[in-house]
């Protein structure tokens, strides 16, 4: 990414690191122009940058991780699909008159084997985001996903889904067209499928809009992604009538991958590059591909009945808590 474009998308906590990296680059260029050996000084500055990078990204607050999950340069569903597959054919339409651009899907070849991939798709800029409805799918989007998943189940292809949405579209038209019914029907059907299902939260996973393609045998999250029943802004507005308290809500909601792994709601955290997936998207894609390959191999070795039982028990155990005796 060009340096000027990168600065335009900097988050507040990234600025000190970017300034230090810019200084290192400037010294390099000056040294090359004047043919001066500054390798020792460069090595010291790079070591300082590595320490600063570790300090910043190892101590992010939930609100800062939410910022990373929403980063405009974070890899999207189509970015990952194009990076990890050998072939990709996008399929369109729900066979009911709708083709929602906020939810994409099709048939791909992953490690030489056919799979069905689908997921939420956000835009890169304002114009693209408006066209994609900011990754918020309509009922037609979830019915398109259902059509593709039924196809996968019929022909014995694993289903791979990617979650990246603030939530399902909540407009009046979406309600008229049966948003709740479309998501609920997907939930029921996904529990019944014989084929392996692997879901990865690649960015922001919000509410039922995320869960509508999120019933899986294995559920992964990228390190700086988030998964929540409601956005922190919505939660703060509901509880405190003040959206400015979204940082407090983000901490209380337990939205980070680490929190959800400790609670047993996800199966695996996928490590991101040192400065986040947007800094090294191909490295993030390689991590995703390796984990998908391992997961598909493991799940494919199981019987369909065993996979359904695994899927059911996973979600049946969510929300169970133990209460000790009061002394």
Same domain, 200 and 172: yes
pLDDT tens for each residue of 8-17: 567 888 888 8
Residue 30 lies in a domain: yes
Residue 15 sits in the same domain as residue 81: no
pLDDT score recorded for residue 325 = 64
- Say what the pLDDT of residue 324 is: 64
97 & 203 share domain: yes
Q: Give strand pairing partners of 90.
A: 106
Q: Identify whether the C-beta of residue 102 lies closer than 8 Å to the C-beta of residue 140.
A: no
CA contacts within 13 A on the Cβ side of 189: 21
**How sure is the predictor about 326, in pLDDT bands with cuts at 50, 70 and 90?**
low
Structural domain count of the chain: 2
* Residue 226 covered by a domain: yes
How far are the Cα atoms of 80, 87, 144, 281, 296 from residue 114, in angstroms, in the given order? 16, 9, 19, 24, 11
Position 38 scores a pLDDT of: 77
Same domain, 42 and 96: no
CA 211, CA 213: separation in Å to the nearest integer? Answer: 5
pLDDT at 2 exceeding the cut of 60: no
Q: Do 79 and 31 share a structural domain?
A: no
CATH at residue 255: 3.90.226.10
pLDDT tens column, 137-192: 999 999 999 999 999 999 999 999 999 999 999 999 999 999 999 999 999 999 99
Distance in angstroms (rounded) separating the CA atoms of residues 257 and 65: 10
Q: How far apart are CA 227 and CA 230, in angstroms?
A: 9
Asked if residue 156 belongs to a domain, the reply is yes
pLDDT digits (tens, 9 = 90+) for 195-218: 999 999 999 999 899 999 999 999
Residues 174 and 123 in one domain: yes
Angle at 214 between CA 176 and CA 80, to 5 degrees: 105
269 and 298 in one domain?
yes
- Sole residue written with tokens 């066209």: 131
Verify that 15 and 161 share a domain, yes or no.
Answer: no
- pLDDT for the residue numbered 1: 46
* Mean pLDDT on 117-129: 94
Q: Which residue has the higher pLDDT, 324 or 153?
A: 153
pLDDT tens digit sequence for 261-294: 999 999 999 999 988 999 899 999 999 999 999 9
In a domain, 324, yes or no: no
pLDDT tens for each residue of 86-100: 999 999 999 988 899
Q: Are residues 150 and 14 in the same domain?
A: no
Helix (H) or strand (E) holding 88: strand 87-90
Q: Is the domain of 115 the same as that of 20?
A: no
Radius of gyration of the chain (CA): 21
Q: Are 228 and 253 in contact (CB under 8 A)?
A: yes
Looking at the fold, whether 195 and 77 belong to one and the same domain comes out as yes
Q: What CA–CA distance (Å, rounded) separates 64 from 19? A: 19
Q: Supply the mean pLDDT for the chain.
A: 90
Sorted by sequence, the CB contacts under 8 Å of residue 260 that are 6+ apart come out as 221, 227, 254, 266
Return d(Cα 231, Cα 244) in angstroms, integer.
12
Q: Residue 257 has what pLDDT?
A: 95
Identify whether residues 45 and 93 lie together within a single domain: no
Average pLDDT in the 23-36 region?
Answer: 80
Please tell me the distance from the alpha carbon of residue 185 to that of residue 131, in angstroms, as a whole number.
26
Host domain of residue 164: 66-316
Whether the per-residue pLDDT at 319 is higher than 90: the answer is no
Label residues 190-207 b or e (16+ Cβ within 10 Å = b): beebebbbbbbbbbbbbb
Confidence tier at 4 by pLDDT (50, 70, 90): very low
Predicted TM-score of the model (pTM): 0.87
* Phi/psi at 282 (5° precision): -70, -35
């Amino acid at each position: 990414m060009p340096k000027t474009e990168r600065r335009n998308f900097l988050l507040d906590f990234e600025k000190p690191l970017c300034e230090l990296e810019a200084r290192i680059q400037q010294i390099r260029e000056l040294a090359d122009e004047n043919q001066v050996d500054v390798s020792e000084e460069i090595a010291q500055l790079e070591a300082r940058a590595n320490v600063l990078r570790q300090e910043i990204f190892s101590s992010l607050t939930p609100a800062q991780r939410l910022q990373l999950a929403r980063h405009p340069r974070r890899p999207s569903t189509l970015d990952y699909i194009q990076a990890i597959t050998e072939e990709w054919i996008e399929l369109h339409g729900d066979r009911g008159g709708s083709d929602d651009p906020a939810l994409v899907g099709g048939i791909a070849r992953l490690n030489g084997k056919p799979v069905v991939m689908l997921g939420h798709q956000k835009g890169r800029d304002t114009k693209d985001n408006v066209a994609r409805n900011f990754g918020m799918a309509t009922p037609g989007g979830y019915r398109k996903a259902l059509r593709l998943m039924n196809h996968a189940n019929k022909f014995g292809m694993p289903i791979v889904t990617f979650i990246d949405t603030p939530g399902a579209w909540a407009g009046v038209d979406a309600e008229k067209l049966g948003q709740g019914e479309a998501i609920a029907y997907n939930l029921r059907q996904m529990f019944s499928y014989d084929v392996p299902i692997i879901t990865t939260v690649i960015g922001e996973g919000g509410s039922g809009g995320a869960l509508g393609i999120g019933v899986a045998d294995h559920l992964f999250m990228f390190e700086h992604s988030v998964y929540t029943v409601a956005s922190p802004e919505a939660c703060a507005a509901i509880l405190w009538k003040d959206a400015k308290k979204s940082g407090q809500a983000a901490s209380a909601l337990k939205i980070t991958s680490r929190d959800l792994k400790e609670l047993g709601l996800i199966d695996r955290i996928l490590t991101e590059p040192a400065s986040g997936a947007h800094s090294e998207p191909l490295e993030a894609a390689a991590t995703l591909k390796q984990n998908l390959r391992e997961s598909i191999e493991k799940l494919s070795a199981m019987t369909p009945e065993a996979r359904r039982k695994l899927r059911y028990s996973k979600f049946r155990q969510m929300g169970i808590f133990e209460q000790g005796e009061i002394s």
